Amino acid sequence: MSNIASAQWIEERQRRVAELEFTPELTLTIEHRITGDDDIWHVEIDAGQVTFRAGPHPNPTLILTGSRSTTDAIRSGKQSAQRAFLDGELKVGGNIAKLLDSHIQLERVAETLAATI
């Protein structure tokens, strides 16, 4: 696995999503935190563009928090994010309604990134 939140890791994901287009109305920021590590990054969708950045966001819409092992299991496909959430291994905070409203467009990001895992 690549080093999560390293400059190379962020750049690779940014390259993969650069050509995706979203409705201009969609504004959403998802911050990812790895417990026990300093790895934090966020994905920002704004005005139809997707941007990956290292570090925290000042006002994320959602915050996903999980351990390194849970994150690696989700990234490798050994565990779904939904199962990790139901098992209490992935915590979700913030505006969950916004996440549910945006799920179809977010699936496009997930499908595009699947090849990088």
The whole-number pLDDT of residue 112 equals 61
- Per-residue pLDDT tens for 12-38? 888 888 777 777 778 889 899 999 877
How far, rounded to the nearest angstrom, does the alpha carbon of residue 101 sit from its chain's CA centroid?
16
- Per-residue pLDDT tens for 59-111? 999 999 999 899 888 878 898 888 999 999 999 999 988 877 777 667 766 66
pTM tops 0.75, yes or no: yes
The contacts of residue 92 (CB under 8 Å, 6+ apart) are 62, 63, 64, 85, 99
| 3-state SS class at 115 | helix
Q: How many residues does the chain have?
A: 117
Find, among 29, 32, 91, the residue nearest to 61 by Cα. 29
Domain architecture of the chain: domains with CATH: 7-111 (3.30.1050.10)
